[in-house]
Amino acid sequence: GQQLNQSPQSMFIQEGEDVSMNCTSSSIFNTWLWYKQDPGEGPVLLIALYKAGELTSNGRLTAQFGITRKDSFLNISASIPSDVGIYFCAGPKTNAGGTSYGKLTFGQGTILTVHP
């Protein structure tokens, strides 16, 4: 089945630093999603990517859809303490025609800690 591998597993950074994390897959995804999860809460969508090569920003967050469609990257610039949390990549299961079933496969997450 589809599996997503995220790296690094955890990051400890100083406030103000930039952060980069990535997600790779053994199979092709037609959509990449990046979520943030705070302790005791559900995942919240940060950025959605729909085209290979696409680069999308949301405030200090920038994500890219790899041209091979087997990877994606998330960058956070000028980190702040509220960026602390777990970041997940996810992608939908699709049929042969690329239509999404809506069922998501998640990576194992990157834990981000920001020191003030």
State the minimum distance, in angstroms, from the CB of residue 40 to another protein: 7
CB atoms within 10 A of CB 106: 17
CA 15/CA 23 separation, integer angstroms: 23
Q: What is the CA radius of gyration of the chain?
A: 14
42 binds another protein per the rule CB under 8 A: yes
Binding characters for another protein, 61-90, by CB under 8 A (x = yes)? ---------------------------x-x
Site for another protein, rule CB under 8 A = 4, 31, 33, 40-45, 48, 88, 90, 92, 99-109
